[in-house]
Amino acid sequence: MAQTTKLSDVTIFTGYSYIGSCKEFVWIQGDRIGSKQMPSRFIFRGLVCEYDVEALMIRKDLYLRTKDGKEYIVSDFQITDISDAENVGGVARNFDLLFEKFPELKSITTGEKVIITKKTQVQAFKSVSDVIHQVKAGHGIDVKQTDEVSKKLVDEVLQQPDAIMNLMDIKSFDDYTFTHNINVATISLLIGLALNLSREEMNDLGIGALLHDVGKLKIPLSILNKDGKLTDQEFMEMKSHPTYGYEILSKSKGISERARMVALQHHEKFQGGGYPRRLKGIEISLFGRICAVADVYDALTTDRPYRVAMTPYEAMKILTSGMDNHFDPKVLGAFIRKFSLYPAGSLVALNDGSVALVLKNNPSSVIRPVIKIVADSAGRRMKERVEVNLLEYKDLFITGPADPSKMNITASDK
């Protein structure tokens, strides 16, 4: 007999998007019949969507909140029945209490060392979710929780002053908005660390970065989730989110001006032409300039509904190419010092035509890691695998990533 769970008076949201509410949510756990697992199903009864029900469909996970403040995650869901807009059904992989069971959460690591622990990430999710509900209810933000999370992030980042991040590892969770805020805060703090900010500055930077996109709560879902290109008018509206964010944070007690500036200025460009105020250079606060780098980098390296993520290498190339002089060179320099361009385990091409595997990064130069040559310039596999510290061989340098599929390199090589 299938096990059924019912929740009543439920709010539905995803990241910074409020989707709507329903009178009842029913979860029907799929039975196991012999060796076969039947799919689990769910039904939203009395569903009221803020916009179209389609807004539900492009997401992978949904969050549900009941009146008593309990939160649940419905992961990997698919809507299968919308014949009646108020009663919508579908199948999903999992239904769990959100903050007790978090199967997909990984720690943020350098590949070797844990930087941001699971516990802190879960706390950060919880604080973002509370912020959503406070803003939706028309209140200011209770900064206590965000402040605590920011302090923990700062502590954890400061514990590993020499760590070089491998950004392949930083992705930890499916929902873009939740993950994005934590990633942007972590990346911003690592840049702050490289710029020798004080602990107090770091804490404000963390709060600002965690809340940098809070103004998106005022942007209609139809614009936020739009699949195609925004019309001029929609884009204008989208461009108001930094101002909205600043307003929300100004209404909230205990948030410093420099933290609010992160929300207001993270889309300004160093050479001018950004929004909302078209500021230039140091007219933009340092925290705004830091968050701009972290925000774009994380967006480029994340899968979005409309495009596939770039590799860290490609994204770093875009950021540093000068193609688009959005960023403060001093901040970019600090960013490059903290993040590996060639993560351990990746294959790289060298200027003499050989191919190598990256073993570990050198804190003093992210473009000169310790490598192991795996194929010579003619493409022949090396019998003797030679380990080379590129810091000691100035004539040898990396020209870019190598394509493993063309190399016939197997997992055993790693």
The footprint of Fe ion (CB under 5 A) covers: 213
Nearer to Fe ion by Cβ, of 189 and 350: the residue is 189
Three-class DSSP category at 251: helix
Cβ pair 147, 207 in contact under 8 A:
yes
Nearer to Fe ion by Cβ, of 210 and 341: the residue is 210
For the bound state, the minimum distance from the C-beta of residue 210 to Fe ion, rounded and expressed in Å, comes to 13
Classify residue 79 as exposed, middle or buried by CB count within 10 Å of its CB (0-12, 13-18, 19+): middle
Q: Beta-carbon neighbour count of residue 196 at 10 Å? A: 8
Residues 6+ apart with CB under 8 A from 87: 43, 44, 45, 46, 47
For the bound state, the minimum distance from the C-beta of residue 216 to Fe ion, rounded and expressed in Å, comes to 7
C-alpha distance from residue 293 to each of 201, 252, 268, 316, 341 (Å) = 18, 26, 11, 10, 15
For the bound state, the minimum distance from the C-beta of residue 242 to Fe ion, rounded and expressed in Å, comes to 6
Nearer to Fe ion by Cβ, of 61 and 213: the residue is 213
Nearer to Fe ion by Cβ, of 47 and 296: the residue is 296
For the bound state, the minimum distance from the C-beta of residue 186 to Fe ion, rounded and expressed in Å, comes to 17
Q: Beta-carbon neighbour count of residue 282 at 10 Å? A: 11
Q: Six-digit token pair at 119?
A: 């516990």
Distance CA 395, CA 131 (A): 53
For the bound state, the minimum distance from the C-beta of residue 224 to Fe ion, rounded and expressed in Å, comes to 11
The DSSP 8-state label assigned to residue 167 in this structure reads: G
- Give Dmax (Cα) for the chain: 70
Nearer to Fe ion by Cβ, of 287 and 342: the residue is 287
Nearer to Fe ion by Cβ, of 90 and 215: the residue is 215
| Element housing 57 (H / E) | helix 54-57
User: Which residue has the closest beta carbon to Fe ion?
Assistant: 213
Nearer to Fe ion by Cβ, of 41 and 289: the residue is 289
Cβ pair 377, 353 in contact under 8 A:
yes
For the bound state, the minimum distance from the C-beta of residue 92 to Fe ion, rounded and expressed in Å, comes to 29
Nearer to Fe ion by Cβ, of 110 and 186: the residue is 186
Cβ pair 56, 104 in contact under 8 A:
no
Supply the DSSP string of 268-313, one letter for each residue. Answer: --TTS--TTT---GGGS-HHHHHHHHHHHHHHHTS-BTTBPPPPHH
For the bound state, the minimum distance from the C-beta of residue 215 to Fe ion, rounded and expressed in Å, comes to 7
Residues 6+ apart with CB under 8 A from 227: 58, 305, 306
Distance CA 147, CA 378 (A): 56
For the bound state, the minimum distance from the C-beta of residue 276 to Fe ion, rounded and expressed in Å, comes to 11
Which backbone phi and psi does 300 adopt, to 5 degrees?
-65, -35
Distance CA 98, CA 102 (A): 7
Nearer to Fe ion by Cβ, of 204 and 213: the residue is 213
| Element housing 223 (H / E) | helix 221-224
Nearer to Fe ion by Cβ, of 213 and 328: the residue is 213
For the bound state, the minimum distance from the C-beta of residue 299 to Fe ion, rounded and expressed in Å, comes to 9
For the bound state, the minimum distance from the C-beta of residue 331 to Fe ion, rounded and expressed in Å, comes to 17
